[in-house]
Structure 1
Amino acid sequence: MSEPAMTARERRDRAALPAPEKQLIIKNLFVGHDRFSEATEQVRRFHMPVDGGVNDTGSLFALAGESRAGKSYVLKRYAAGFPVERGEEGLVRRVVYVDLPVACNERKFVERIADALNVGRASKMNTEAVFGNILLGLQEQRTELLLLDEVQEAFQSERPAALRACQGYLRKITDLGTLNVLVAGLMETYALMEADAQLEGRGLLPHHIVLPYTWENKEDRAGFRLLCDHIDTRLPFVEKSGLGSQWCAARLHWVSDGLIGRLKAFVFRAACYALNEGAPKVEPGHLATAWDLVKPVGTTFNPFREDLSGAPPRRPASKTAGATR
């Protein structure tokens, strides 16, 4: 997360930008924090296991973790590093990102992959025919890595028929022997895949768990404070807001559960209040107002107005708290 310090002049120039530009700066903040770097490196190593070598084939990889931990962001940015190219025999899609839809059944699973490959999904074609186009498209477009995001929408034990069908499609894609497949989803998704001997056997199911930052762990606490400070540095205000201070970071951790997506969404709300007031920085009052807007119904405690010693339990223990990376 190292970056050059912003000079006072650079900070003033950024703070003087038009409102739309400042709003987009806050909305689109990116910080290469350690969770992002670790997950990206794991994806890269799964794709290209040897430096200077070739892409691996025939294996499945699981990227798992809680909602808003940053899995989708990792996959989208990785895929963006491999734009579509025009080869001698047509388009080349080395890395393909697919966002599976809500309540994904067998047909939707196939259609969404077909859309990403642009191989067509004619309404009169049956599902197997569309899937045949996918297998052909993956080979013709020389795809090396297929990234399937939100796989928990298809892999649900409550819908066994869809689960079996989608697992079968994964096996057939992997068995092409020309690419690897990475699936991203919740921890329950990884457990379902691990329990499937046929899927687990395709590469032994290497995996990476994207963990939230915990406040109790010294290293995590330091990492979270550093992340808050880097976000603070990039905000379009004349002054820094002290987001990385012990006082503020502890409260930001409490409201975000240590999850990157929740942290960024919360800071965005507070920073918008500060912009609207013409404030030189994000003040505790802006953070307090932002929490009033998003706090669960029935919650009265506000960590930005009250001492954290009186805070109620924020959430049950994380299911990934004991997981290893």
Structure 2
Amino acid sequence: MIFDTPEARAVASRLPVSKRQHIIKFLRVPYHTYNRGLAMIARLHRPVDGGLPNLGVVGGLLGESGAGKTVISEAYAELYTAREGEMGMEYPVLYVSASLGMSRQRLGNKFQRATASPHRILSREDPIDWSVDRVLKCRTELLILDDAQFMFFNHRSSHVAAEMYGFVKDVIDTRMVSVLLVGEPDVDKFVYDIPSFERRGYRSEFLDPLSATPAGLKLFADLLKSIDRRLPFALPSRLDEYVTDFHKHSAGQIGRVMNLVEEAGYLALNDRSACILVEHLREAVRTRIRPGDDFDYFGYKATLQ
């Protein structure tokens, strides 16, 4: 939703506060990096407009924490919503996030929760055995594995890493599903060290933070304007007036920007404010300043006097 006229903003400001909170929490903001990430997933999944899914290949969407990978992946999955099929619910694009301490059994349990359907009957109950079978029964074309570094790195034992590699390979070897590994840059090195993955048409997109160059700051300002047009307030919050503060705090990473805007938005809702004010930004950033960072974000130091 975009609220870029006085009339649209007036309507948004009169929505129930719970609805306005939901809008702020789940903002989807197209911008340079976001669009590039979505385009990469689309090329991996369905490279020809109106054509068939590209099955049995593997790709990577990579970047540092806060680059927007999760939001982009979730947004793409939302384009292909679950549908009722002959054997139960079908998930053309299935999104699952890995976690620290992941094992093949825990991953199987995540698949079970993500694809829960009262109409589906599984031939086996052991998650280790049926996780691949589950993906096939759900008629999944693209499996998105977020935080993939937890599957292969982060001090995992060689046994667990081998289990995770075996699962991904089992899925790809069906030649009925493609896999997108979403995670930190080291995932690229892991894949290129495995010929069986590289041979499956592996390609990756690295999402850089928006830089502090003039061109980067211009894109960053456009991003802040785009966020502002989607905030459910009666008046614009003019976030782009604080380009330097937002960029310094976030290092150009969209995740950190959105965390700050979300907190400031909630403060504005509680104050029944017509928009996000600078004092809301000051309070939101106050508890998010890294040790040793003495930058005066949004002029908050004046409030300490």
The one-character-per-residue Cα deviations of 1:3-62 (angstroms, maximum 9, x if unpaired) are 977222332332333433333332222211221211111111111122222111221111
Corresponding residue for residue 231 of structure 1: 227
Corresponding residue for residue 99 of structure 1: 97
Relative to 1, partners in 2 of residues 1:116 and 1:269: Cα closer, same or farther, differing over 3 Å? Answer: closer
Using the alignment, how far apart are the partners of 2:230 and 2:159 within structure 1? 48
Residue 55 of structure 1: SS of its match in structure 2? coil
Using the alignment, how far apart are the partners of 1:297 and 1:133 within structure 2? 47
- Once the two structures are TM-superposed, the CA of residue 281 in structure 1 deviates from its matched residue by 2.8
Relative to 1, partners in 2 of residues 1:25 and 1:80: Cα closer, same or farther, differing over 3 Å? Answer: closer
- Once the two structures are TM-superposed, the CA of residue 133 in structure 1 deviates from its matched residue by 2.4
AA of the residue aligned to 2:215: E
Corresponding residue for residue 149 of structure 2: 152
Using the alignment, how far apart are the partners of 2:3 and 2:111 within structure 1? 43
Using the alignment, how far apart are the partners of 2:100 and 2:14 within structure 1? 41
Maintained 8 Å contact 2:67/2:255: yes
Aligned positions of 1:1-325 closer than 5 A: 6-118=4-116, 125=126, 130-156=127-153, 158-159=155-156, 160-203=158-201, 205-216=202-213, 218-245=214-241, 248-297=242-291, 299-305=293-299
Residue 240 of structure 2: SS of its match in structure 1? coil
Relative to 1, partners in 2 of residues 1:21 and 1:176: Cα closer, same or farther, differing over 3 Å? Answer: closer
- Once the two structures are TM-superposed, the CA of residue 63 in structure 1 deviates from its matched residue by 0.9
Residue 143 of structure 2: SS of its match in structure 1? strand
Which ranges of structure 2 fall in alignment gaps of 5 or more residues? none
- Once the two structures are TM-superposed, the CA of residue 109 in structure 1 deviates from its matched residue by 2.9
CA RMSD of aligned residues (A): 2.6
Residue 94 of structure 2: SS of its match in structure 1? strand
- Once the two structures are TM-superposed, the CA of residue 131 in structure 1 deviates from its matched residue by 4.3
Residue 244 of structure 1: SS of its match in structure 2? helix
Which ranges of structure 1 fall in alignment gaps of 5 or more residues? 308-325
- Once the two structures are TM-superposed, the CA of residue 299 in structure 1 deviates from its matched residue by 4.2
Maintained 8 Å contact 2:264/2:276: yes
Relative to 1, partners in 2 of residues 1:280 and 1:187: Cα closer, same or farther, differing over 3 Å? Answer: same
Residue 160 of structure 2: SS of its match in structure 1? helix
Using the alignment, how far apart are the partners of 2:133 and 2:26 within structure 1? 37
How does the TM-score come out when normalised to structure 2? Answer: 0.86
- Once the two structures are TM-superposed, the CA of residue 167 in structure 1 deviates from its matched residue by 0.9
Relative to 1, partners in 2 of residues 1:121 and 1:255: Cα closer, same or farther, differing over 3 Å? Answer: farther
* Sequence identity (%): 27
Relative to 1, partners in 2 of residues 1:106 and 1:25: Cα closer, same or farther, differing over 3 Å? Answer: closer
Maintained 8 Å contact 2:286/2:300: no
AA of the residue aligned to 2:173: D
Maintained 8 Å contact 1:114/1:120: no
- For CA contacts below 8 A with separation 6 or more, give which structure has more relative contact order: 2
AA of the residue aligned to 2:282: A
Q: Number of residue pairs matched?
A: 296
How does the TM-score come out when normalised to structure 1? Answer: 0.81
AA of the residue aligned to 1:163: A
